């Protein structure tokens, strides 16, 4: 969209005095990168404040130019896009939506800078950098994301995008005191740093390891949660590499799993998550727990119960049954 206005914007800049044109171009990044007030000031041997004044004067001159009316159309289009999306749009996502090539970004920045409807909200601990047309929009994003994070933590689950948006739309009248459209909810969730999308397309609090894994332990936890089944550490390493595009040494992974209480070894090299109900212990320990809970059982019943919590051969279970006595009915007892 922005590319079609490139020549028009170039002509606007050419009407400026050379020094003003250079300062504004460097501040916006027409030469490839945005430059600081300090860097430009050093080149001209002037203060940062003087550079700021030149930039401000250049923008005022452009707005008074007869040609300025010709760029009102793209400014209105940008404004409409942001307002359709709840009065704000994350800076990088706005760029993706309104430009086709990286070289067009400075022209988008130029229009945002000279357009009166736009206000810049810099990157902060809670929100990504964004452009807004409504001053209150970032507050809506914060309030809604806080509500959604509390809900996720209460239910201890990840959500698909559509499910999360439906919840946001449904709860907005209570949380924000107003109804919102799907585009609003999507824009507010994109803007917050408190909710992120994991490699499998599920959303959750950004501090959860299954959302933003920070090491091989978290990566293993994320993949096991996604698979929903115990896995051998070699297979787990392959899945981490396949899904997270990270190289993993199986032995390093094995060592990490052994020492971390989140994981339980339930067979030869096979790990499960403790939160699934698995417990530490040998096959003999498992038989003791089963008999303590269930009372006397036959060999077949014990094998069936052990296989629910351990991935071992029947012969291994039978071998461990040698540690237990039988009652008169031929059932094993403690």
pLDDT range class, residue 60, cuts 50, 70, 90: very high
pLDDT range class, residue 148, cuts 50, 70, 90: very high
Whether the predicted pLDDT of 1 surpasses 80 = no
Q: What is the pLDDT of residues 99-144, one digit of tens each?
A: 998 889 999 999 999 988 899 999 999 999 999 999 999 999 999 9
Please tell me the pTM assigned to this model.
Answer: 0.80
pLDDT value of residue 3: 74
Contact indicator for 292, 334 with CB cutoff of 8 Å: yes
Whether the predicted pLDDT of 160 surpasses 90 = yes
Contact indicator for 13, 21 with CB cutoff of 8 Å: yes
CA distance 30 to 221: 45
Whether the predicted pLDDT of 11 surpasses 90 = no
Backbone angles phi, psi at 129, to 5 degrees: -60, 140
């Amino acid at each position: 969209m922005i590319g079609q206005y490139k020549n028009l914007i170039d002509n606007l800049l050419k009407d400026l005095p050379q020094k003003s044109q250079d300062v504004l171009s460097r501040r916006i990044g027409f030469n490839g990168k945005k430059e600081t007030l300090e860097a430009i000031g050093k080149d001209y041997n002037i203060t940062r404040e003087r550079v700021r004044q030149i930039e401000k004067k250049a923008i005022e001159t452009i707005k008074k130019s007869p040609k300025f009316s010709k760029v009102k159309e793209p400014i209105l289009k940008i404004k409409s896009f942001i307002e359709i999306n709840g009065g704000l749009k994350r800076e990088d996502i706005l760029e993706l939506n309104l430009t086709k090539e990286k070289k067009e970004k400075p022209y988008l920045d130029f229009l945002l800078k000279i357009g009166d409807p736009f206000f810049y909200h810099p990157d902060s601990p809670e929100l990504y950098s964004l452009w807004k047309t409504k001053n209150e929009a970032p507050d809506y994003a914060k309030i809604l994301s806080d509500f959604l994070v509390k809900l996720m933590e209460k239910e201890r689950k990840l959500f698909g995008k559509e499910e999360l948006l439906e919840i946001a739309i449904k709860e907005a009248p209570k949380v924000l005191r107003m109804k919102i459209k799907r585009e609003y909810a999507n824009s507010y969730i994109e803007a917050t740093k408190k909710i992120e999308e994991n490699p499998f397309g599920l959303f959750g609090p950004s501090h959860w390891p299954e959302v933003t894994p920070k090491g091989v332990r978290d990566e293993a936890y994320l993949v096991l949660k996604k698979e929903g089944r115990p896995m051998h550490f070699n297979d787990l390493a392959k899945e981490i590499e396949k899904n997270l595009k990270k190289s993993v040494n199986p032995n390093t992974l094995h060592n990490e799993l052994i020492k971390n209480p989140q994981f339980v070894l339930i067979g030869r090299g096979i790990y499960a998550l403790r939160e699934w109900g698995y417990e530490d212990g040998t096959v003999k320990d498992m038989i003791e727990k089963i008999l303590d809970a269930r009372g006397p059982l036959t060999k077949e019943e014990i094998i069936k119960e052990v296989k629910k919590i351990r991935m071992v051969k029947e012969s291994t279970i039978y071998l461990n049954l040698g540690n237990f006595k039988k009652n008169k009915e031929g059932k094993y007892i403690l």
